[in-house]
Amino acid sequence: MLEGIEINLTAKPNSNDILTDGNSFSPDGEKIVFCSDRDGNQNIYLMNSNGSNQIQLTSHPGADYNPVFSPDGSSIVFTSERDGNREIYIMNNDGSDKKNISNNSAQDWNPKYFSNDKILFQSLRDGNWEIYIMKIDGSRQINLTNHPRTDYSFIVLPNKDSL
């Protein structure tokens, strides 16, 4: 789409916008949710895909990052350190109704939607990094990898029938 073209969409030269800790296009391609430290710590912002109408969705002293739109665009999952450790949170796409859905004393992070009602994430709750799945309300948290070695990286591929 923009091959060979560099465009500064956020126009914030003194901040780290669209950090490696997450950014995501909405399913319709009209919005980008991104992480920025422009206010002193990592928070989540939303903007139109042309860079206009930038709004802050999270504002907390604990870092918020790894934002990902749901497949239907109605919600955003993200990692937050607002409870003292990394947890998986969900919020509406306008930033309202933030909820801790992993709710575990271990480190949980890097959420990805598996479907509109399930989320994959990484966790240290078994003593090493494992890949888990849960429902979007936080119920039915299941270890998918359950291996004594680290299971760390994953990607969610689209269903071929939805392409």
Evaluate whether 110 touches 123 at the Cβ level (below 8 Å): no
Nearest partner of 48 among 91, 106, 7, 4, judged by Cα: 7
Mean pLDDT computed over 80-91: 95
What is the DSSP-derived secondary structure letter of residue 117?
A: T
For residue range 48-68, what is the model confidence (pLDDT) as tens digits?
999 899 999 999 999 999 999
Q: Which domains does the chain have, with CATH numbers?
A: 23-162 (2.120.10.30)
The CA distance from 90 to 154, in Å, is 20
pLDDT tops 50 at residue 163: no
At a CB cut-off of 8 Å and minimum separation 6, what does 100 contact? 80, 83, 87, 88, 89, 138
For residue range 97-140, what is the model confidence (pLDDT) as tens digits?
999 999 999 999 999 999 889 999 999 998 899 999 999 999 99
Mean pLDDT computed over 1-6: 52
Q: What is the pTM of this model?
A: 0.86
The CA distance from 61 to 25, in Å, is 25
How confident is the prediction for the chain on average, in pLDDT?
86
Mean pLDDT computed over 23-40: 90
What percentage of the chain has pLDDT greater than the value 70? Answer: 82
Mean pLDDT computed over 42-53: 93
Q: Which two tokens stand for residue 5?
A: 């073209």
Better-predicted residue by pLDDT, 110 or 13: 110
pLDDT tops 70 at residue 3: no
Nearest partner of 56 among 25, 74, 81, 35, judged by Cα: 35
What percentage of the chain has pLDDT greater than the value 90? Answer: 64
Is residue 156 very low, low, confident or very high in pLDDT (cuts 50, 70, 90)? confident
